[in-house]
Amino acid sequence: MLSTRLRGNRLAISQACPRFESSATKRRRSYGQKVLLQVLKTKKQKTTLTSAGESPFPDFSHPTPAEAREVFDLLSKAHGAHDPVRKVPEMARSSEEIRSEAPNVIEALVSTILSQSTSGANSSRAKKSLDDTFGRNDFAAIESASYESLVDAIRSGGLANKKAKVIQGILRSIKARHGDYSLQHLAAVEEGKWLTNDEIMEELVSYDGVGPKTASCVLLFCLGRDSFAVDTHVFRLSQVLGWIPARADRILAQAHLDTRIPDELKYGLHILLIRHGRICKGCKKIGSGERCILKTYLKDGNKGSGRPCVHDVAIVKDRDSVLQSEKT
């Protein structure tokens, strides 16, 4: 139904240039927005759209695989290439060996929550303090601790009051649902136990405080799955590149980009867009005088030319300091 409402070249053009809309088109667009709000009214419905494997904007054809590759190559030259730190284990290996190597899924989920709206250094300090206070992965101790003591333990990560409430709520829900503090079934690769990305996403976002971006990060960084998480940097740069419609919010942008970006580029492009967003001064401030290689790429019409853009001097200069901050 949603895709039907959004179809039509005339509607797409009027949405791109709203001041030229006819009254009838405005009424259709208003109705289409109401349909969107109705579809996305609840968290479960919104996540269903996010993990459905179909774009909420089926008539929006960007990025193409070639465009995604060009931007990946461009950013790789400026910031260095990045391969996934962990890929999904092969089925042929023994289940005992795989289980011994699988990261703790709850730990990854908690770490991702701690990383929200703060720097890598601050979230790392909060995680270390959490481990020092309660013991690493002693989720029973964390869940049963007083709210105030958990807030104190993770205070260095910012938004401690909110994050403490979310973490304890998630742990209680996991224990109530599974009888134990474990989500390792999400990492299972044995035949008959393997879960799809959509199935994993569905369980993760069913816990209060876990949105599609957080769930996607667990899929990507903990479980070694191909998933494209959209944070503030990725969202902003996707807007600059024209990869998402103007009406897209971050959740809809993630649903769209996850279907458009080739699987083999999802990890590296996610990392590179975040790194570029942190470093590049030219794409942060209008009129700053700094140059942004992505804006140069768009301005020069380099798409498909195979001609690399000149590296932004500020990016190369600041790269080492950013790499160091990401390690801490």
List Cβ neighbours of 259 (8 Å cut-off, separation of 6 or more).
53, 54, 55
Structure confidence at residue 132 (pLDDT): 98
Fold held by 60-82+227-327:
Endonuclease Iii, domain 2 (1.10.1670)
Domain locations in the chain as residue ranges: 60-82+227-327, 95-222
Tell me if the domain spanning 95-222 has CATH number 1.10.340.30.
yes
What Å distances lie between residue 292 and 15, 181, 217, 237, 266, CA to CA? 28, 46, 27, 11, 22
Q: What are the pLDDT digits (tens) for 271-298?
A: 999 999 998 888 776 556 678 899 889 8
User: What letters, b where the CB count within 10 A reaches 16 and e where it falls short, cover 89-108?
Assistant: beeeeeeeebeeebbbbbbb
Active-site residue flag, 213 = yes
- If one counts every other C-beta atom within 10 angstroms of the C-beta of residue 28, the result is 19
Q: Which position has the higher pLDDT, 318 or 192?
A: 192
Q: What are the pLDDT digits (tens) for 37-95?
A: 444 445 455 555 555 568 999 999 999 999 999 999 999 999 987 766 555 544 434 34
> 3-state SS of the chain: helix, strand, coil percent to 5?
65, 0, 35
Structure confidence at residue 54 (pLDDT): 82
**Integer Cα distance of 2 and 152 in angstroms:** 45
- Of 46, 127, 163, 213, the catalytic one is 213
What pTM did the predictor assign? 0.74
